[in-house]
Homo-oligomer: A and B are copies of this chain.
């Protein structure tokens, strides 16, 4: 319940749990471990800490749930993830897999102001010079294909 700071890694655990809850309805140690590329004992460690911080409801062998507070953090992170991925793919024309990797890191650091501005910029460009943007993406897509 404390107001301790949250680490980048903890934010990643929260986001993973949030996605599992959305996709499968149930959050399992095993599945968290798989997505986070760690072993189950590491997940248990993390769950205990997050429980202490009031971000998840965790009691051993019981079902795992995010608290209201944990869910809010996860949602905020997830929405930055989506925003960044879209920007990388739709504006810069980065291959989705790479965009995903970059977003996955940057989402934990990006300033609110920067995130907001990226969103506004994307909208502005798409509205004000859609043709130029399409030209850029087409050019880059062609180059990327040639490289393969």
Q: A: which residues have CB within 8 A of B?
A: 88, 91-95, 98-99, 101-102, 105-106, 109-111, 113-114, 117-118, 120-121, 124-125, 128-129, 132, 135-136, 140
**For the complex, would chain A's binding face be called helix, strand, loop or mixed by DSSP majority?**
helix
Chain B residues positioned under 8 Å from A94 (CB to CB): 111, 113-114, 117
Interface pairs A-B: 8 shortest CB-CB:
A105-B109, A129-B129, A128-B132, A92-B117, A98-B111, A102-B114, A124-B136, A106-B106
CA distance A115 to B106 in the complex (A): 13
Q: List 12 A-B contacts (CB under 8 A).
A: A91-B121, A92-B114, A93-B117, A94-B111, A94-B117, A98-B113, A105-B106, A105-B109, A106-B110, A120-B140, A124-B132, A125-B136
A92 lies within 8 A of B121 (CB):
yes
Chain B residues positioned under 8 Å from A117 (CB to CB): 92-94, 140
